[in-house]
C-alpha cells in the first residue's frame, strides 16, 4: 500500500505546498524532488507543451523501491501561489532557502534523521546552494544538472539550435549585461528572446548567471550522485563530467538514450526528442530509478 498526502511548510507570505508519497509504514529514506526552471509544477509539467510528468513518474518509481518522496510547487506557483505575491520576484537563493524549509518540514512530518535532495536541471543548482546552508541533507542527487555557470549554458543552448542564428548577437549582448548586473530594457530584446529574457525575470537571471555549480560541488563533503542522459539536448555529458571532476568521490550514472526529462529517445532527430517532453504516458528511461534508488539505499549519511 502507499500513502499520498499533502504537505506544507511556511513560505514568506503563505505556505509552500507539495505531495508526500510514502510506503504505508516503516522507517524509509525520503527524497525531496526540486523542480527545474520556469513554471514547472510538482509533477514535472508546465505550460508551452511540457507534460512529461517526470517528477510524478520518478516519485512512483522510487515508491516501488521502498523510498518516500516529496515533490513540490515553487514559491508563487500552483499550490504555493500564496507564498509570494509575484512568482517572478525571486532569486536562486530564495529557492535554496525554501529547500531548507522543506527539509525541516519533512523531518518533522516523517521523523527522518536527514533528507535526500534531488535537483533536476536548474533544481540541481538550487540543491547545491541549499546544501551549503542545510546540515540535515543526507546527500545530493543531481539530475540533468549543468556543470557550468548559466551564462555558458545559455550560450551553448542558443548556438545548438540553428534557428537561433539570427538572434545570437542580441542574446550575447543581453547575457553580458545581465552577468554584469545590469538590467536590459524590453525594447532592446528581440521579441523571439522575450520569453527567456523578459524584464520580469531579469532579477532571477542575474542571481544565477555566474554561479558555478562545479565550484559549489567541490566544497561539498556528503554523498553525491550525478545522473545524466546520453540524449539530453539541454545539458551535456560534458556537464556531468565537469561535476564529477569537481567531486571525484561522486557517483556518475550515464543513462543510455535518456533525454533531459528522463524519457527514452532512440533516434537522433531533435523533433523526436522534444516530442517526449509532452508525453506523460511515456515511462522514464530504463536505469533512472534504478540508479537513484540504489544510491539512496546504499549510501551512508556520514561525511566522507
Neighbouring C-alpha atoms within 13 Å toward the C-beta of 270: 7
Domain chopping of the chain, boundaries: 2-148+211-298, 151-206
pLDDT band at 2 (very low <50, low <70, confident <90, very high): low
| CA–CA separation, 135 and 26 (whole Å) | 24
pLDDT tens digits along 158-213? 988 888 999 999 999 999 999 999 999 999 999 999 999 999 999 999 999 999 99
Check whether 303 has a pLDDT greater than 50: no
- DSSP β-bridge partners for residue 189: none
Average confidence (pLDDT) over 235-248: 97
CATH for the 2-148+211-298 domain, from 3.40.50.920, 3.40.718.10, 3.40.50.1820, 1.20.810.10: 3.40.50.1820
Confidence of residue 25 (pLDDT cuts 50, 70, 90): low
Virtual torsion, Cα 79, 115, 51, 40, nearest 10 deg: 50
Q: In what order do the strands lie in the sheet with 137-143?
A: 2-10, 15-23, 68-72, 30-34, 115-120, 137-143, 224-229, 251-255
Q: Which three cell numbers stand for residue 227?
A: 545522473
pLDDT in tens, 97-143: 999 999 999 999 999 999 999 999 999 999 999 999 999 999 999 99
- Tell which residue, 99, 119, 92, has the closest CA to residue 34: 119
Amino acid at each position: 500500500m502507499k500513502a499520498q498526502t499533502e504537505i506544507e511548510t511556511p513560505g514568506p507570505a503563505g505556505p509552500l505546498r507539495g505531495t508526500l508519497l510514502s510506503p504505508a509504514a516503516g522507517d524509509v529514506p525520503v527524497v525531496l524532488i526540486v523542480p527545474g526552471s520556469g513554471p514547472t509544477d510538482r509533477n514535472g509539467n508546465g505550460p508551452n507543451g511540457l507534460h512529461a510528468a517526470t517528477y510524478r513518474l520518478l516519485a512512483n518509481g522510487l515508491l516501488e523501491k521502498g523510498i518516500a518522496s516529496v515533490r513540490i510547487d515553487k514559491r508563487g506557483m500552483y499550490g504555493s501561489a500564496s507564498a509570494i505575491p509575484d512568482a517572478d520576484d525571486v532569486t536562486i537563493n530564495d529557492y535554496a532557502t525554501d529547500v531548507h524549509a522543506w527539509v525541516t518540514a519533512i523531518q518533522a512530518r516523517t521523523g527522518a534523521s536527514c533528507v535526500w535532495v534531488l535537483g533536476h536541471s536548474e533544481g540541481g543548482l538550487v540543491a547545491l546552494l541549499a546544501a551549503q546552508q542545510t546540515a540535515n541533507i543526507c546527500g545530493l542527487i543531481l539530475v540533468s544538472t549543468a556543470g557550468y555557470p548559466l551564462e555558458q549554458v545559455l550560450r551553448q543552448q542558443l548556438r545548438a539550435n540553428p534557428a537561433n542564428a539570427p538572434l545570437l548577437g542580441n542574446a550575447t549582448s543581453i547575457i553580458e549585461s545581465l552577468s554584469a548586473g545590469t538590467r536590459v530594457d524590453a525594447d532592446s530584446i528581440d521579441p523571439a528572446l522575450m520569453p527567456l529574457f523578459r524584464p520580469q525575470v531579469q532579477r532571477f537571471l542575474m542571481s544565477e548567471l555566474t554561479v558555478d555549480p562545479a565550484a559549489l560541488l567541490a566544497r561539498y563533503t556528503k554523498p553525491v550522485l550525478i545522473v545524466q542522459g546520453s540524449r539530453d539536448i539541454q545539458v551535456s555529458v560534458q556537464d556531468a563530467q565537469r561535476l564529477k571532476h569537481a567531486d571525484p568521490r561522486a557517483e556518475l550514472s550515464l543513462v543510455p538514450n535518456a533525454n533531459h526529462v528522463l524519457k527514452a529517445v532512440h533516434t537522433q532527430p531533435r523533433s523526436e526528442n522534444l516530442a517526449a517532453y509532452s508525453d506523460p504516458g511515456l515511462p522514464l528511461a530504463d536505469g533512472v530509478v534504478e540508479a537513484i534508488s540504489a544510491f539512496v539505499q546504499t549510501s551512508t549519511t556520514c561525511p566522507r
